[in-house]
Amino acid sequence: MIDLTEWGWNHDWESQYRAMKELGQPARIIAMYQGIFRVITQNGESWAEIAGRLRHDVKTVWPVTGDFVVVRPSSRDIIVAVLDRHSELVRKAAGETSEHQTVAANVDTTFLMQSLDRDFNLRRLERYLAMVWQGRSRPVVILTKSDLAANADDYVYQVTRLSPGLPIHCISSATGEGLEELTSYLVPGSTVACVGSSGVGKSTLINRLCSGVEQATQETRGSDQRGRHTTTHRELFFTVERTLLIDTPGMRELYLAEGDVGLDLTFQDVMKWADGCRYRDCQHRGEPGCMVKGAIDTGRLDPDRWEAYQKLQKEILYQERRASPKAWAGSREQWKKRSKMGRQNRQAKEGRYHES
């Protein structure tokens, strides 16, 4: 018999499952391959597919790697229910569609990986941070291939400025440098996801942390140092500490889904100044008492950070509008009314100020 607590099962999952016991037995999805799932139950590993009833229900949460589900035993197990997620990594699906793609579910910690051989990009890291914060996971920045960088401390400094207090580690899977620093996150029964672009070393790191695992890896391409896409699916592995690691395919593009919680947490420096503006509806375009403009003019706020925040905010608002046009239309009308009242109040205040 398999002890599912080793796979992350706990009292919270058990309390959810009690109301579904008559449907089948609990399981966790440990890998998925284009609609076919590999699951672990108390009886061991098996293959599973989603029940037809759920497949055609628009309200169904499509299961992904990391999900806890209820399966009905069969020659190929049938997934009949998906337990509510504690966390999820979600991005907008590639292309013009407004659909979302869940990268992994029930992730406690997310390793945001960038390599120091030309992959390093602060603006991309901001996107990853927003996705992880929004999904209720804990972000940890992993800067890989430190053996190829002569100025690794400079990269750490740049990331520190993005979010003071954010855990940052420089590692080299080739030499083993910095790997011991990651053990504090490798708690037995917890789940860690590795995300990043192709070629940053996700599979190589998993090979180093997981005994007996040999994920396929490839060298980066020649002069452009671009990574080759080796991981094609999401799969759970055990580390020697009995932590669950999820390897994910490299993300060539990352567009954010709806939600402003992740954005606010990623840009806490921006929000600090915005919250101090004189007017609550300040557009930060030169209004009297605008703290954002003042902070940029005096060098206390990086203009690149402000530009990045505006860009991601517009992207999220665009996704919300596409996902629910009617709700967006209603909120837009409310926003117009509030903006009009704000302008009137501001003009009245400015008039009284000039009179005095």
For 144-168, the pLDDT digits (tens) are 999 988 889 999 999 998 888 899 9
267-355: CATH architecture: Orthogonal Bundle (1.10)
pLDDT of residue 243: 95
In angstroms, the first-to-last Cα distance of the chain is 81
DSSP conformational letter for 255: B
CA distance linking residue 212 with residue 238, whole number of Å:
9
4-82: CATH architecture: Beta Barrel (2.40)
Share of the chain above pLDDT 70, in %: 81
Q: Parse the chain into domains and list their residue ranges.
A: 4-82, 88-247, 267-355
Candidates 290, 254, 288, 256; CA nearest to 274 is 290
Topology match between the domains 4-82 and 88-247: no
Candidates 87, 90, 79, 69; CA nearest to 16 is 69
Residue 120, number of CB atoms within 10 A of its CB? 19
For 180-213, the pLDDT digits (tens) are 999 999 999 999 999 998 889 998 999 999 876 5
> In the chain, how many H helices and how many E strands?
10, 13
For 242-265, the pLDDT digits (tens) are 999 999 887 766 778 777 789 999
CA distance linking residue 1 with residue 8, whole number of Å:
16
CA distance linking residue 143 with residue 71, whole number of Å:
39
pTM for the structure as a whole: 0.82
CA distance linking residue 37 with residue 51, whole number of Å:
12
201: left (phi over 0), alpha (psi -120 to 50) or beta: left
With respect to CATH, is domain 88-247 assigned 3.40.50.300?
A: yes
Residues near 72 by beta carbon (within 8 Å), at least 6 away in sequence: 23, 24, 51, 78, 80
